[in-house]
Amino acid sequence: MADFDLDSEMRAFIDSYLEISSLSTATSIEQQRSDYEVLLRHFRYPHPPGLTCQDDVIEGRHGDVPLRHYRLGEGNDEALVLFVHGGGFILGSLDSHDDICAELCAITGYDLVSVDYRLSPEHYHPTHLDDVEDAFHALGHDNTLLLGVSAGGTLCAALCHRTAPRSHRPAGQVLVYPGLGGDCFDLASYRENAQAPLLSTADIKFYRGTRCAGETLPIDDPEFYPLVADDFCHAPPSVAISADIDPLRDDARLYVEKLRSAGVAAEWINEPGMVHDYLRARHVSSAAGAAFARIGDAIKRLASDAP
Q: Name all domains of the chain by residue range, CATH numbers in brackets.
A: 8-305 (3.40.50.1820)
**Each residue's pLDDT tens digit, 151-195:** 999 999 999 999 998 989 999 999 999 999 999 999 999 999 999
Query: pLDDT exceeding 90 applies to what percent of the chain?
Result: 93
Query: pLDDT exceeding 70 applies to what percent of the chain?
Result: 99
**Each residue's pLDDT tens digit, 253-300:** 999 999 999 999 999 999 999 999 999 999 999 999 999 999 999 999
Mean pLDDT, the chain, integer: 96
User: Are 257 and 215 in contact, with CB atoms under 8 Å apart?
Assistant: no
Task: Identify the pLDDT of residue 39.
Answer: 94
| 89 φ/ψ sector (left φ>0, alpha ψ -120 to 50, else beta) | left
Band of pLDDT at residue 1, cut at 50, 70 and 90: low
Q: Which helix (H) or strand (E) holds 70?
A: strand 63-72
User: Are 174 and 295 in contact, with CB atoms under 8 Å apart?
Assistant: yes
Separation CA 59–CA 46 (nearest Å): 30
- φ/ψ of 43, rounded to 5, equals -100, 20
Q: What single-letter DSSP state applies at residue 230?
A: S
CA 111 from centre of chain:
18
Q: Residue 2 above 80 pLDDT?
A: no
Letter for the amino acid at 147?
A: L
